[in-house]
Amino acid sequence: MNGEKRVSNDDFVKRYGGIYEHSSWVAERVQAVLDGGDADAELLATLMADCVDNAAVEMQLELIRAHPDLAGKAQVAGELTAESTEEQSKAGLDQCTADEFEAFQSLNAAYKEKFDFPFIMAVRESTRGEILAAFAARMDNDYNAEFETALQEIHKIARLRLAALENSS
């Protein structure tokens, strides 16, 4: 944090509120720590991850559940956030074959049945095949391992979103 540049609370939350899917509380809490100061993407990523990691389990679960299914109904209906739309598109999830789409639907349902939250993966730099393989492999995890994996994947997503935001400035 350089402390030289002051950022209004509203501007900070407006800029960074979408880094964690539908969870502007992360940006709000980090903004309070920075107290109007500025920070680079790496420091923001660290502060935001710490905020999530130190949040109550209920808040963490709410954050995980805020994420959409991969190649799911929200994507088909055009209901994803702009960030999720871009990420799923870069992974080719908007170009699934009928068989791939069916596989995603089946895995989404089985995963939610087992863990009671959606499968989370930072997909921006993955192929559909890699995602499907990870999906199938992670079905063997227990709840606690998968909860932690989901949070780590969310942090990866946040870092990628912060980097993209920094590069667009």
- pLDDT tens digits along 63-110: 999 998 887 665 655 666 778 778 888 888 888 888 988 999 999 999
Give the pLDDT confidence score for residue 1 in this predicted structure: 43
* Average pLDDT estimate for 151-156: 97
**55 and 132 within one domain:** no
Look up residue 147 and give its DSSP letter.
H
pLDDT for the residue 152: 98
Q: Decide if 33 is inside a domain.
A: yes
pLDDT score for 4? 46
Residue 131 falls inside a structural domain: yes
Give pLDDT, residue 93. Answer: 83
Rounded Cα–Cα distance for residues 110 and 104 (Å) = 10
Active site (catalytic) residues:
67
End position of a domain, from candidates 62, 78, 94: 62
For the whole model, what pTM was predicted? 0.87
Same domain flag for 93 and 152: yes
90 and 163 part of one domain: yes
At a CB cut-off of 8 Å and minimum separation 6, what does 133 contact? none
**pLDDT confidence bin for 7, thresholds 50/70/90:** low
Q: What does the alpha-carbon distance between residue 49 and residue 74 come to, in Å, rounded to a whole number?
A: 26
Distance CA 90, CA 84 (A): 10
Residues 75 and 129 in one domain: yes
Q: What is the DSSP letter of 93?
A: G
Please check whether residues 29 and 78 belong to one and the same domain. no
Q: What was the pLDDT predicted at 103? A: 92
Domain membership of residue 40 as a residue range: 9-62
| 69 DSSP 8-state letter | P
Structural domain contains residue 2 = no
CA angle 24, 83, 166 (to 5 degrees): 80
Residue 36 in any domain: the answer is yes
Query: Do 154 and 118 touch, CB atoms closer than 8 A?
Result: no
